[in-house]
């Protein structure tokens, strides 16, 4: 039974507890031993994306300290996982801390990635009779390579989609732009408000024409932005994190 | 200079912003189709990236080799450390030949050096002969895209412009008719010109030759008619060997417009008989980039414009919103290298989606470089106080988990009872077009504790 240190992004902890709980339920049903280290707060991504390196460093260092004891670290967010995997190296320069970091880096997984690559989930028995639109969150897609990106010439794959496809009764939307960014982008959502919102509305319109009832993604941050637009405009669509769909059917 | 404000202005005309987005997405889709026709696409990108990295890391040697070989072919080679020096060199060549009229094919370098206004001040007529360039020149504005300079202009507007300048029929906007009018107008200019200026797409160290790619043949006409050819290039345009062109020419047009190759790929190896050829090699900040490991790879850029076509921000904010010679992702790396303070909003005009990095034919890690620029901008103290102080406060909070959990719980309780007008106002840009999340009473950590208790009992 794999023991998993749960890495719950700060905004999920504060604003979307149901996504964290769905992750717990899902992993427990799949036979994982779960621990949630109370000391964790934030991976430091907002500071790093703003360029504030001195504010990021201590958060990166405490993250590695907190999580190094677990066999696996699993996070229901591609973006926060990408922060740890792709942007932490510069904070660990001496040999000892570098070794600790690399250990943590190699055992930190985004949830869908953990389900498909580690647990090798290949048959989900439950049903979810809805038309679901999968938003391919960028950091999961292009930093973690959880799926093929439309720019590259490669075999088409998507770990999140392959999980959803196993669910009975589910219909997946075919989009006109397969993996365009939703426009969240962290502080970008606020500092470039006009572009951010136009990007989000365009994504929602693409899902609307494709018939999406439930909009899902591996990142709640994309969905927080899209849900904000959906609710303001009264669009007949609802958002669910992929962990919520999977926990409901498993 | 402020990208968010310029972008918001562009988006005010929502229909036009959508039209702009769709036009560029169309080019991106054409590029995808063209790339998919080559199963070896990713290998080509890797090869191109390696050739460029190798060249850039041996740049001094290859520049010497190139200039020696070009000189052997009878070319006059000049070196310019910046834009001013470049303009002075070009002017001195033109003065020596008493040139009054120039035709110029597409060259982002001369845009970068502001050559046109400089020469016009000296009483020299400069006519841009690329159709899109000519359109923006007649409108007296800079190009908004490096490959599609007039992509922001609708055909009806071109009709009006040509009616005014080229006496086309009022209200006529048929693209073929307008192109024909431009062709006739430009032919006159070609015939009158005393000199032709071109850009350079590739310069070959091994042969001393330069290659110019166009779709309109305007570089060929502009160098075939007048007896003086000046080719202006940035020092990063080098490739070591002629056979390297096989890699780059296959990538360039496919990435730029989805064509297998540009209509004209013209090789210049020395002057025509009876003519004179000059090459001006320009640094203008490039060796400064070469010295910075984080940004060195931006010198690999072959100016295909694919990162602009794919960028969701560029497509919705327009090239002029960047207020830089080169807009879009690559421009947002190059511009702050020139003037960090002036262009500090550009690396932030990016959602870090990474599409540019995946589309780039020479595999420049564009979104990582934009990320790296943000660090430099913060280090140099150029971030607004609100941003740095809020990041300092948040970081402090995140280092104190008990305080974080306490304030989170208090904050959620307060937010849940605040009246709408206190949550949604000018101080909250999030709420201008979006609802805030519905605030839960309990955090995950609290719910998890309860769950654990039930579970363990």
The confidence score (pLDDT) of residue B170 equals 96
Chain A CA closest to residue B448 = A21
Nearest residue of chain A to residue B374 (CA atoms): A51
Contact between B371 and A49 using a beta-carbon 8 Å cutoff = yes
**Among residues of chain A, what percentage have pLDDT more than 70?**
100
| Mean pLDDT, contiguous 10-residue spans, chain B (457 residues) | 94 98 98 98 98 97 98 98 98 98 97 97 98 98 97 98 97 97 97 98 98 96 97 98 98 98 97 97 96 96 98 98 98 96 97 98 98 97 92 96 96 91 93 96 96 84
DSSP assignment of A97-144, as one string?
A: HHHHHHHHHHHEEEHHHIIIIIS-------B--SEEEEE--HIIIIIS
Distance (Å, rounded) from C-alpha B242 to C-alpha A2? 56
B448–A40 CB contact, under 8 Å: no
Query: Which residue carries 């001369």 as its tokens?
Result: B110
B398 with A44: Cβ contact below 8 A? yes
Residue range B40-134+193-284 in CATH 3.40.1280.10: no
Question: Cβ of B8 under 8 Å from any chain A Cβ?
Answer: yes
Q: Dihedral through CA B105, CA B111, CA B115, CA B117, nearest 10?
A: 110
pLDDT at B349: 98
Percent of chain A surpassing pLDDT 90: 98
As for the ipTM of the complex, it is 0.97
Q: Please give, rounded to a whole number of angstroms, the shortest distance from the CA of A154 to a CA of chain B.
A: 8
CA distance A7 to A35: 9
Domain map (residue ranges) of chain B: 40-134+193-284, 385-456
CB contact under 8 A, B388 and A181: no
Q: Which of B354, B382, B286, B384 is nearest to B326 (CA)?
A: B286
Give A41's contacts in chain B (Cβ within 8 Å): 397-399, 401, 404
- Split at pLDDT 50, 70, 90, the class of A1 is confident
* A42-67 average pLDDT score: 97
* pLDDT recorded at residue B281: 98
CA distance A188 to chain B (A): 6
Q: Are B144 and B151 in contact (CB under 8 A)?
A: yes
Average pLDDT over residues A71-78: 98
Cβ-based contacts of B388 with chain A (< 8 Å)? 52
Please tell me the distance in Å from A228's CA to the nearest CA on chain B.
4
Would you give the distance in Å from CA B119 to the centre of its chain?
Answer: 24
Cβ <8 Å between B351 and A183: yes
pLDDT, mean over chain B = 97
User: Would you state the structure tokens that stand for residue B266, as one six-digit string?
Assistant: 């013209």
The whole-model pTM stands at 0.97
Structure confidence by residue, pLDDT tens digits, A189-237: 999 999 999 999 999 999 999 999 999 999 999 999 999 999 999 999 9
- Residue A9: CB partners within 8 Å, gap ≥ 6? A42, A43, A75, A76, A77, A79, A80, A220, A221
User: Which residue(s) pair with A133 in the sheet?
Assistant: A215
Q: How high is the pLDDT of residue B1? A: 63
Pairing of strands B101-104, B195-198: parallel
Contact B312 A47 (CB under 8 A): no
CB pairs under 8 A between A and B: 213
Q: For residue A2, what pLDDT band results from cuts at 50, 70 and 90?
A: confident
Give the separation between CA B230 and CA B211, rounded to whole angstroms. Answer: 13
């Amino acid at each position: 039974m794999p023991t998993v240190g749960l890495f719950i992004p700060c905004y999920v902890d504060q604003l979307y507890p149901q996504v964290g709980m769905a992750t717990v339920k899902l992993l427990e049903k799949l036979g994982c031993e779960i621990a949630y280290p109370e000391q964790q707060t934030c991976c430091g991504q907002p500071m790093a994306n703003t360029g504030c390196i001195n504010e990021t460093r201590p958060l990166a260092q405490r993250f590695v300290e907190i999580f190094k004891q677990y066999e696996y670290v699993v996070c229901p967010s591609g973006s926060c996982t990408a922060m740890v995997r792709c942007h932490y190296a510069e904070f660990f320069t001496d040999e000892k801390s570098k070794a600790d970091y690399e250990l943590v880096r190699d055992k930190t997984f985004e949830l869908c990635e953990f389900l498909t690559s580690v647990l090798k989930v290949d048959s989900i028995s439950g049903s979810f009779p809805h038309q679901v639109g999968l938003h391919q969150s960028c950091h999961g897609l292009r930093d973690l390579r959880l799926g093929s990106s439309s720019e590259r010439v490669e075999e088409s794959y998507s770990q999140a989609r392959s999980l959803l496809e196993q669910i009975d009764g589910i219909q997946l939307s075919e989009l006109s732009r397969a993996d365009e960014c939703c426009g969240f982008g962290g502080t970008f959502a606020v500092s470039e408000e006009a572009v951010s919102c136009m990007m989000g509305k365009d994504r929602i319109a693409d899902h609307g024409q494709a018939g999406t009832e439930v909009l899902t993604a591996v990142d709640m941050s994309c969905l927080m932005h899209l849900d904000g637009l959906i609710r303001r405009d009264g669009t007949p669509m609802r958002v669910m994190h992929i962990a919520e769909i999977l926990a409901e059917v498993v | 200079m402020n990208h968010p404000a310029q972008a918001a202005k562009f988006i005010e005309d929502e229909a036009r912003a959508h039209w702009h987005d769709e036009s560029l997405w169309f080019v991106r889709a054409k590029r995808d189709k063209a790339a998919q026709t080559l199963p070896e696409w990713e290998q080509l990108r890797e090869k191109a990236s390696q050739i460029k990295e190798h060249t850039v890391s041996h740049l001094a040697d290859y520049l010497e080799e190139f200039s020696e070989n070009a000189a052997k072919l009878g070319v006059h080679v000049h070196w310019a450390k910046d834009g001013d020096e470049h303009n002075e060199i070009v002017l001195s060549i033109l003065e020596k030949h008493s040139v009054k009229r120039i035709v110029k094919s597409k060259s982002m370098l001369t845009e970068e050096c502001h050559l046109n206004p400089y020469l016009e001040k000296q009483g020299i007529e400069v006519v841009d002969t690329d159709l899109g360039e000519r359109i923006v020149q007649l409108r007296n504005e800079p190009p908004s895209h490096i490959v599609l300079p007039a992509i922001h202009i609708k055909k009806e507007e071109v009709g009006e412009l040509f009616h005014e300048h080229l006496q086309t029929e009022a209200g006529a906007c048929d693209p073929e008719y307008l192109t024909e009018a431009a062709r006739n107008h430009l032919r006159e200019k070609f015939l009158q010109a005393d000199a032709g200026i071109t850009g350079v797409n590739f310069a070959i160290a091994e042969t001393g030759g330069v290659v110019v790619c166009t779709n309109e043949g305007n570089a060929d006409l502009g160098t075939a008619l007048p007896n003086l050819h000046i080719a202006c290039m940035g020092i990063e345009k080098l490739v070591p060997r002629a056979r390297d062109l096989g890699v780059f020419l296959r990538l360039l047009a496919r990435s730029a417009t989805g064509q297998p190759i540009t209509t004209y790929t013209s090789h210049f190896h020395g002057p025509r008989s009876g003519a004179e050829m000059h090459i001006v090699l320009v640094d203008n900040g490039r060796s400064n980039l070469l010295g910075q490991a984080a940004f060195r790879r931006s010198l690999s850029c072959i100016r295909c414009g694919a990162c602009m076509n794919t960028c969701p921000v560029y497509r919705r904010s327009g090239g002029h919103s960047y207020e830089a010679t080169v807009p879009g992702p690559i421009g947002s790396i190059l511009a702050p290298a020139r003037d960090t303070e002036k262009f500090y909003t550009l690396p932030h005009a990016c959602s870090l989606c990474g599409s540019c990095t995946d589309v780039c034919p020479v595999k420049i890690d564009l979104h990582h470089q934009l990320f790296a620029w943000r660090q430099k901008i913060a280090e140099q103290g150029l971030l607004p106080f609100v941003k740095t102080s809020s990041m300092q406060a948040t970081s402090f909070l995140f280092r104190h988990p008990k305080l974080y959990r306490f304030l989170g719980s208090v904050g959620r309780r307060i937010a849940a009872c605040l009246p709408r007008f206190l949550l949604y106002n000018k101080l909250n840009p999030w709420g201008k077009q979006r609802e805030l999340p519905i605030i839960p009473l309990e955090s995950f950590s609290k719910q998890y504790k309860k769950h654990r208790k039930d579970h363990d009992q």
